[in-house]
Structure 1
Amino acid sequence: MSCQRKDNVKLVIIPVGASSATLFIILIALATWWSLRRRKQAFGDDAKLSFELKGRHFTYSEVLRITDNFKRVLGRGGFGTVYHGNLDDSTQVAVKMLSSSSRQGYKEFMAELKLLMKVHHRNLTNLVGYCNEGAHMGLLYEYMANGNLQQRLSGRSSQTYRNAPILSWEDRLRIGVDVGQG
């Protein structure tokens, strides 16, 4: 009788185990599908429309005028080249233009726009506006006159910013912690 009982237990355990495993796999697949769907919606046309309602749109011809035909280069990165510009006599901006050879594209451009709409911190530059005209995509930021964060934190200022005061280690640490919290 004990052998028969073991066989009955096996006959019950195997189907229950298989059913549980199948249910678990289905739940994981549904959770993955739901997560991907939410991400896709977050970076879809809604992000573009909400930014266009809140942010300032610049035409490509305005960007050309603001940067004086991309005359002064401030730096280069994975997104493209950053240029110096003037909105008016008193407002300077940094204009980051998406390069055609950039590893990043429209999705990353929209993700950065959406992020910058939400994140505001005293140690982060503010977004002034954007340009999204066909192949010409760019972001306009407030201009940081004393160089970028890397130059300021490392103490290595470029020739342009050599008169900028050197930050103390306490200030560097505070900025690092603030940016991390932001």
Structure 2
Amino acid sequence: MNTVFRLLALAAWLPFATSAADDPAASRQAFGEMAKVLQSPRCLNCHTVTNFPRQGDDRHPHAQLIQRGADNMGAPTLMCFACHQAANSVDGLVPGAPNWHLAPLSMGWEGLGTGQMCRKLVDKQANGNRDAAALAAHMTADPLVQWAWHPGGNRTLPPLSQADFHDAVRRWAGNGAYCPK
């Protein structure tokens, strides 16, 4: 992980690191808000359980028949970064953000209910060994995640504003990272 991301992650989490509470009801309520975003096409298109990315609000298979590849960045013959650069194309047709890639299959949550998705999210064996603080940092500071609110073209934004999502993530993690039942 590069230094800039670590600093952003620390800055995003720091206000909550020392004030963590244990309020299951508040945490579960905040996750319900988060789930509205996590279950939207902006997240599900890459958090898929398929061997290919999806695109569009209808979540159709990637038009160029891209495959996941061993490292979730496309097959060796056509890697994600061949088209997806560090920023959206000028015309907005090709989305872009740093480190464009699919989420690992272990973090695919399409078809899961809110509680199931949350339990998968907090499963350290599936999520890259991230604790609640690291998950909050990922969801509030990772440039690829933040792209969802600046997708370019005619893509639909997530159902919560970026600030409201960040607030919900921090309330969820800061109150114990509880999952809906």
Q: TM-score, normalised by structure 2?
A: 0.24
Of structures 1 and 2, the one scoring higher in RCO (CA 8 A, sep 6+) is 2
| Rg larger for | 1
Relative to its length, the structure with more helix (as a share) is 1
Higher strand share: 1
- Report the TM-score when normalising by structure 1: 0.24
